[in-house]
Chains A and B, each alone.
Chain A
Amino acid sequence: MSDRDSWRRVHPLSPVVRGGRATIAIGVLLLPTVLRGGDLKDSYVQLGIAAALTALGFVSWLVTRWRIDGDDLQIETGVLRRQSLRFPLAQVQAVDIVRPGLARIFRVAELRLRMGGASGSTARLAYLPEQEVEPLRVRLLALASGVEHGEEAEAPAEERVLTTVPTGRLIGSILISDVGLIAEAVIAVLVVTALLAPAAATGVVSGGAVWIFAVLTLVWRRFNQEYRLTLAESPDGLRLRSGLVALTAETIRPGRVQAVRMVEPLLWRLLGWCRLEVDLAGKQRSKGEGEAERRSLRAVLPVGSRALAEELLDRIVPDRPRQHARAPRRVRWKSPLRYRMIAWGRTETCVATTSGRVRRVTCWVPLQKVQSLRRVQGPVQRRLHLASVHVDTAGRGVHAILRDRDAPEADRALAQLSELARAARRKPT
């Protein structure tokens, strides 16, 4: 292929897929008229809106084009505000392929390039024909870096699957998760009212429709995102693939994990289950990205046994503390519930904290990623000679806190941790 490609357009159906919900909404708008006997003349407004949106979509397709120019990916788009974007491929951190439900129906896929650098923006090619995406991904990765990534991308067999979440377990875990329990409560209330007073049920449904819809959406989104989530290890990091309707494939580079946390809700603990999430810094909440990307925490193990979680932790934070120091007894007066769970431990390169009675959360922060440390002492803590040490990282989701320690211990921990973090920073990675 030549170094400089000619301009190319995205798939003609892109606006339809990109519209997503809007497309469905147009369908819904037109539905009543169609059902009433097909006399479309009665609904000028709906037709007008549909026509306008179609025209807009067509124009946006017409003006969007892309090409690979040497080491850059160029995208041009926009009518009134013409944008010409140039993404240097050398700065690509990861290439993701995303296929929402509508895209799969039309056999197209979106290619996303996560860029490094301070802005951390994302280049999106939405949407390309399915058969073109994989070769393009390989080519982009090969251009991005040279040899090792190119070879790696061409030989996906190199990756080693660590775990896949069984669907039955995922369903079970969602049923007894916080979101799931709310949804079940809502449904139970509906069923009971429907049985006792069928007349009242319609009122309840129409009154609480928004809430019911919101809860069900949450449950669905979680299921859809984590369906058959497969974690694999490859030379360029952890690979995550998941999705029932919308498929995503993501790569997390090993050095980019800012913190890891394990969540164990009360009901899950009874079954010995837990959830493992990693926190990344690079994820910007940029507009237009899917819901999945808006969350900074990424579940690498939506649900699994402790043993499995330990195994994965060995990969992500190999050197982690095995022994955790419990909180002093007098903490019972301040935090009667979480007292039993509060603990912390450290090694030369990692600090771990645990807290939470109902929802036990354990955080691991590699000391290399520590941004700053804070010792905080509130009035009650002062009375009891306690203090907490907060470990701040660049991630948004994990808050590691050495909660309620003996005040001298907290001081020592603060001094030691800042010393160790300094050493970890200096060490070349």
Chain B
Amino acid sequence: MSDRWLRPSHRLLVLRRLQAAAATLAFVAVAAVLAVYSGAVAGLVCAAGAVVFGLAAERFVRRRFAAWGYAEREDDLLVQRGVLFSRLSVVPYGRMQFIDVTAGPLERSFGIATVRMHTAAAASDARIPGLDREEAARLRDRLAELGEAQAAGL
């Protein structure tokens, strides 16, 4: 299988990093409050905790981002995801019932969107987050076109 694997936009990583940074900042704020009210030791422990948390979050976010991937094959779409539980979904174009493209306020401000394919099975989980807006639109149109061409009944 010589599939051409595509990845989500790099802006998704930036967004996720920002979210991790925001969580870390909250942690730091707590550490600062503790340092002011209950002495230096507790504050130092908390600061160390915040640093560790931040690094862990950064590593987590980076690996998770790297795990995402999708490939359009002739008859089906492959979607890969997950670090701890790695998943590889094979969704035939003919089985797609509908496709939706969503973008929350944060995603919109970064110009990215999530494409999700639905089949008749509730368990099929084919979701690709963090696609550039043009790429999301291209993928949506292409999937719809292929789905229509290969549509199969239940």
Binding site for B on A (CB under 8 A): 256, 258, 281-282, 369-379, 382, 390, 392-394, 396, 399, 414-415, 418, 421-422, 425
Least Cβ–Cβ distance between A30 and chain B, in angstroms: 46
Q: Given A376-B86, A394-B154, A418-B92, are A281 and B122 also a contact pair (CB < 8 Å)?
A: no
Q: B122 to A396, Cβ gap below 8 A?
A: yes
**A425, B123: Cα distance in complex, Å:** 19
Can you report 8 A-B residue pairs in the complex whose CB atoms are below 8 A from each other?
A256-B154, A372-B90, A372-B126, A375-B88, A376-B87, A379-B84, A394-B154, A422-B75
Binding site for A on B (CB under 8 A): 1, 75-76, 84-92, 94-95, 119-126, 152, 154
Q: B152 to A374, Cβ gap below 8 A?
A: no
Residue of A nearest to B80 (CB): A375
Residue of A nearest to B119 (CB): A371
A425: chain B residues at CB < 8 Å are: 92, 94, 152
Least Cβ–Cβ distance between A283 and chain B, in angstroms: 12
Q: A373 to B121, Cβ gap below 8 A?
A: no
Q: Given A418-B92, A422-B75, are A375 and B87 also a contact pair (CB < 8 Å)?
A: yes
Which of A382, A390, A392, A421 is close to B119, meaning CB atoms less than 8 Å apart? A392
- Report which residue of B90, B94, B95, B124 has the largest number of chain A beta carbons within 10 angstroms of its beta carbon: B90
**A38, B86: Cα distance in complex, Å:** 71
A396: chain B residues at CB < 8 Å are: 122
Which of B85, B92, B120, B126 is close to A376, meaning CB atoms less than 8 Å apart? B85
Besides A258-B154, A372-B124, 6 other CB < 8 A contacts?
A372-B95, A372-B126, A373-B90, A378-B85, A390-B123, A418-B76
Q: A371 to B90, Cβ gap below 8 A?
A: no
Q: Given A371-B95, A373-B90, A421-B92, are A392 and B85 also a contact pair (CB < 8 Å)?
A: no
A390: chain B residues at CB < 8 Å are: 123
Q: B119 to A372, Cβ gap below 8 A?
A: yes
B85: chain A residues at CB < 8 Å are: 376-379
**A258, B152: Cα distance in complex, Å:** 14
Residue of B nearest to A281 (CB): B154
**A4, B80: Cα distance in complex, Å:** 57
Q: Given A418-B76, A425-B152, are A373 and B84 also a contact pair (CB < 8 Å)?
A: no
**A372, B122: Cα distance in complex, Å:** 10
Least Cβ–Cβ distance between A424 and chain B, in angstroms: 10
B86: chain A residues at CB < 8 Å are: 376-377, 382
Q: A394 to B84, Cβ gap below 8 A?
A: no
A374: chain B residues at CB < 8 Å are: 87-90, 123-125
Least Cβ–Cβ distance between B41 and chain A, in angstroms: 36
**A414, B92: Cα distance in complex, Å:** 13
Which of A375, A378, A393 is close to B121, meaning CB atoms less than 8 Å apart? A393
**A281, B154: Cα distance in complex, Å:** 8
Q: A422 to B76, Cβ gap below 8 A?
A: yes
A281: chain B residues at CB < 8 Å are: 120, 154
Q: A418 to B90, Cβ gap below 8 A?
A: yes
**A373, B87: Cα distance in complex, Å:** 10
Residue of A nearest to B85 (CB): A378
Q: B88 to A394, Cβ gap below 8 A?
A: no
**A375, B80: Cα distance in complex, Å:** 9
Q: A415 to B88, Cβ gap below 8 A?
A: no
**A97, B9: Cα distance in complex, Å:** 56
Least Cβ–Cβ distance between A278 and chain B, in angstroms: 14
Least Cβ–Cβ distance between B80 and chain A, in angstroms: 9
**A370, B124: Cα distance in complex, Å:** 10
Residue of B nearest to A282 (CB): B154
Q: A371 to B88, Cβ gap below 8 A?
A: no
B119: chain A residues at CB < 8 Å are: 371-372, 392, 394
Least Cβ–Cβ distance between A368 and chain B, in angstroms: 8
**A399, B1: Cα distance in complex, Å:** 27
Residue of B nearest to A392 (CB): B121
B75: chain A residues at CB < 8 Å are: 422
Residue of A nearest to B117 (CB): A372
**A415, B152: Cα distance in complex, Å:** 20
**A44, B87: Cα distance in complex, Å:** 64
Q: A394 to B89, Cβ gap below 8 A?
A: no
Residue of A nearest to B151 (CB): A425
**A377, B80: Cα distance in complex, Å:** 11
Least Cβ–Cβ distance between B103 and chain A, in angstroms: 24
Q: B121 to A372, Cβ gap below 8 A?
A: yes
Least Cβ–Cβ distance between B149 and chain A, in angstroms: 12
